Amino acid sequence: MKTVLFACIHNAGRSQMAAAWFNQLADPRAARAISAGTEPGSRVHPEVLSAMQEVGIDLAGAVPTFLTRDLAASAALLVTMGCGEACPVVPGLRRMDWPLEDPKGKPIAEVRRIREEIRGRVEALIADEGWGQPSG
């Protein structure tokens, strides 16, 4: 099984949404997602909790996690979202960067737009890698 690590600065918005979408949409026997941040916040942003609750994903129990080099090394793929140079460089680790707007403090309509952009990117990643749910 592959592990995909979604990382942003505070691990309180974008990366939490991406990991939640991934774990809902991917075949759990093929891949799973975790998320972390370079400067983890104390909690997931309330506007992110609300936007994800609207689509049936409960992040109330999610806790921002510190992005360590060891955590990054345990992943098959690192997807960064705005942490720039603060994200660890792990030799040999596949990495991609998704330039996504930070949802912190944004009106709910903007958070919904970011949520759907993340969903689309996650769906494309799952399809590209062949990690989709089995049909039937």
Question: CA quadruple 44, 46, 47, 52: dihedral positive or negative?
Answer: positive
Task: Say if 136 falls within a structural domain.
Answer: no
pTM of the model as a whole: 0.95
| pLDDT number for residue 90 | 79
Between the alpha carbon of residue 89 and those of residues 38, 51, 114, the distances in Å are 12, 31, 26
Q: To the nearest whole percent, how much of the chain has pLDDT over 90?
A: 85
Domain count, the chain: 1
pLDDT at 136 over 60: no
Tokens read off for 21: 């979408």
Task: Say if 10 falls within a structural domain.
Answer: yes
From the candidates 7, 8, 44, 48, give the one annotated as an active-site residue: 8
Task: Say if 111 falls within a structural domain.
Answer: yes
pLDDT digits (tens, 9 = 90+) for 98-133: 999 999 999 999 999 999 999 999 999 999 999 998
Q: Is 107 a catalytic residue?
A: no
Which CATH number does the domain housing residue 41 bear? 3.40.50.2300
Q: Is 39 a catalytic residue?
A: no
Task: Say if 32 falls within a structural domain.
Answer: yes
- Domain, as residue range, for 119: 2-129
When the pLDDT of each residue in the chain is averaged and rounded to a whole number, the result is 94
| pLDDT number for residue 69 | 87
Q: Is 129 a catalytic residue?
A: no
Nearest to 62 by CA among 34, 88, 29: 34
**Rounded Cα gap, residues 65 and 46, in angstroms:** 17
